[in-house]
Every structure is written in structure tokens, then in C-alpha cells.
Amino acid sequence: MITIVEANTKKLLTDFVKFPFELYKNHPYWVPPLISDELQTFDKTKNPVFESAEAYFYLAYSDNKIVGRIAAIINWNEVKDQQKMKVRFGWWDVIDDIEVTKALLEKVYELGRKNNLEHVEGPMGFSNLDKVGVMTAGFDEIGSMMSWYNYPYYATHLEKLGYVKEKEFHENKFPFSNVKPTLFEKANELIKKRYELKELNFTNTNDIMPYVDKMFDLFNASYANLSSFVAITDAQKDFFKKKYISFINPEYVKFVLDKNNTLVAFSIVMPNFSQALQKAKGKLFPFGFYHLLKAKKESKDVLFYLIGIDPDYQSRGVTAIIFNEYYNTFKERGILNCTNTPFLEDNYAMINLWKHFEPVVFRKRRTYIKKLHY
């Protein structure tokens, strides 16, 4: 018999966070999150996303053992402002028993019906800066801190329960040796001169902070035309600053300014922390912090996390400036491999951005959708 319990205490939420550690114990490709970071994400007194969203966390038990988890989420900005009448589900992990999946999803349906919503979509988080999608390809590649890893049967469960593909995301990788500076060196100088632009590099994290709010504003403007995009609020900006700033090497942040020192483009790249997080096993202490700090300083693999360009500059070749700066930084640091965070398969602007580096799609993931029946 399957029993569903709401994780509404600190102990139960901790069990919610720790369940995947048991499910993927000793798995060579699963990358564990930091337990403290996950708990902060789910803390309604600390995460400002709850000002415009609501979420409920559920655990599935069988024979007094946890066999699954799920979060039922409503992003009210999405529902009210965009008229997208959907309930989301995320942080879904389950043993290979479709009855467990069915029981967990029923709690998501209950939330949707209670609020007169029309469909359910997932897996996805609260916002566009959260993890997204069920993996459908790339199971023999190590995961990343920016995306979920899952067993192949996850997608099978959803499809058997009547879900269909809503959005598909790809993740690319390419060796740094594929990057030929001749592709952007000349364009870099021409673009800067034509539009009176200049690059801005950093060596100290504190120097980045005055630009962070402007960066998030530009992020919102850059992706506003995507149908799946929900803007980041001012309160969320502060939360993400605290959440990710310690993971970012200042020299991996690149800004482009116009003649008035207005930010027109930015990019953030992060070191690959996957193996360090595996060694940390979800904990910063006693040794997790050491492994993460070592990766931050020494990792030869990097992850392109965010890029944003002012809509007025999106077809003006500004990326040549960004790539030129990264080329110089990566060459100096001996970077070997580059990967991308998930992007929509039909995001042709992103595809064209990377095509010159001969990237390989090494992982695919998708969100699934299903109508709610009353």
C-alpha cells in the first residue's frame, strides 16, 4: 500500500531532500545537491519565490520506507499575468513503480483542480532559473549542478500515464580546442568601434555586485519574448545573488557596456562542480567546502550558465566581444571542455550562437504536459 504524506516539517523536508541520495546511492553519474541549499530553496520564510508562488512537498511511503517524492507548484505570476492555467510539478524522484508515480501526481492534480487550472506540466521548478526537464538521452554522462539527473524509466512512467511532450531541451558540449579566435577577433574590434561598446572584466567578486540587479533586468528583457519565460522579481534577484555568488569565478563573468556605461550584454560561466559535489555528498562540512573550492580554482571544464543581450543589440554581433574575452581567459587558465545548460531545441538564436564551435548534443530532456480532468 502506498501512503502519501505532506513534508510540512523540517524533519520531513529533510527526508524529502535526502531521498534521492538513497535512490542514486553510488550512482556514477548522479550529482547530489547541497542539502542546506535545497532546504533553503524550500523554506517559505527565506525563498522570496513564495511571494508569488505556492508549493507543497509530498513523500510516498511503502512498508514505512520512502519510495518517492514530488513538489506541487503554482507560479501565480504565470497564471495571472500570462493566463497560463497550469500547475507545475518538480523535484520528482521515484522508484521504478508507476503506481508510486501515479499516487504522487494525484496530489499535483488536487492542487490544480482546487484552483481551477487546466493542465499540469513538469518536471520544472518555480522559475526559469530552476532545474527543468526529465532526461531522455545522455544517461551515461555525468550530470551537473544546474540540472536534474534521472533514471530512464521516469519518462516511461509519464508516457504510460498519458503525458505528452511539451518542450524539449538540449545540452551541448565541445572541446575548447574547437574555438578558433579568427571567428571573432576581427568582429570584436569592428563591433566595439561601430556601436561604441567596451568589455568589462573582473578579478574581484565585490566589483561585480553593483551590476547584478542590472544584469537580472537585462536577463528579463533578453528572454521576455519566449513563451515559457517568467520574469525574475526584485526579491528573487537578492536570493539568487546569495545562492550562486560563491560558485562564480569573477573572471568568468563578462559584461559589455555602451558609451554611457549601460549594460547591453552579459555572460556567466561556472567551473564544472560535478565531481566536487559527488565528493561533498551533499554537505559543505567537513570536507565539501574544500572540494568545491578546489574545483573553483582548478577545474579545466566550464559550464556556460547564463547569457543575456539587450533586444536592441541581439542581431549586432555583440557575442563576438564576449567570446573574445572568454577565449583569452580560458586560454590562460588551460580550459579543456565547455558545456551548456539546457536550452530549448527550437531556440535557433542559441543554436546559431554555438554552431561555429561544432558542439555535440550529449543530453536531451523534456517537460511533459497533461490536461486536468474534472
Q: What are the tens digits of pLDDT across the range 119-154?
A: 999 999 998 889 999 999 999 999 999 999 999 999
Instruction: Render pLDDT for 229-277 as a digit per residue (tens, 0 to 9).
Output: 778 888 888 888 777 777 889 999 999 999 999 999 999 999 999 999 9
- pLDDT tops 70 at residue 26: yes
Q: Compute the mean pLDDT over every residue in the chain, rounded to the nearest whole number.
A: 94
Place of cell 558545456: 339
Q: Which of 11-20, 209-218, 335-344 has the lowest mean pLDDT?
A: 209-218
Check pLDDT > 70 for residue 227: no
Summarize the confidence of residues 48-55 as an average pLDDT: 94
- Report the distance separating Cα 18 and Cα 12, nearest Å: 10
| pLDDT, position 129 | 80
Burial 234-256, CB ≥16 within 10 A → b, else e: eebbebbeeebeeebbebbbbbb
Lowest mean pLDDT among 163-167, 236-240, 310-314: 236-240
Q: Residue 4 in contact with residue 58, Cβ under 8 Å?
A: yes
Cell 501512503 belongs to 3
**For residue 317, is pLDDT > 90?**
yes
Q: What is the mean pLDDT of residues 30-58?
A: 95
Side-chain-facing half-sphere of 250: CA atoms under 13 Å: 11
Whole-number Å distance between alpha carbons of 236 and 241: 8
E strands of the chain, at which residues?
A: 2-6, 53-62, 65-75, 86-94, 119-122, 134-137, 164-175, 198-200, 253-257, 263-271, 301-309, 337-340, 343-344, 360-371
Q: Which of 128, 134, 132, 7 is nearest to 58 (CA)?
A: 7
Cell numbers placing 185: 577577433
Confidence at residue 350, expressed as pLDDT on a 0 to 100 scale:
87
pLDDT at 298: 96
- What percent of the chain is modeled with pLDDT above 70? 99
> Can you tell me the mean pLDDT for 197-211?
93
Higher pLDDT, 374 or 250: 250
> What would the grid cell of residue 168 be?
524539449
Sign of CA dihedral 106, 108, 114, 116: negative
Distances (CA, A) of 193 to 198, 258, 265, 323: 9, 11, 16, 16
The pLDDT value recorded for residue 228 is 67
- DSSP 8-class letter at 132: B
CA 115 from centroid of its chain's CA atoms: 27
Q: Are 92 and 104 in contact (CB under 8 A)?
A: yes
Q: Quick one: cell of 43? A: 523554506
219 Cβ neighbours under 8 A, 6+ residues apart: 232, 266, 306, 308
Asked whether the beta carbons of 70 and 92 are under 8 A apart, the reply is yes
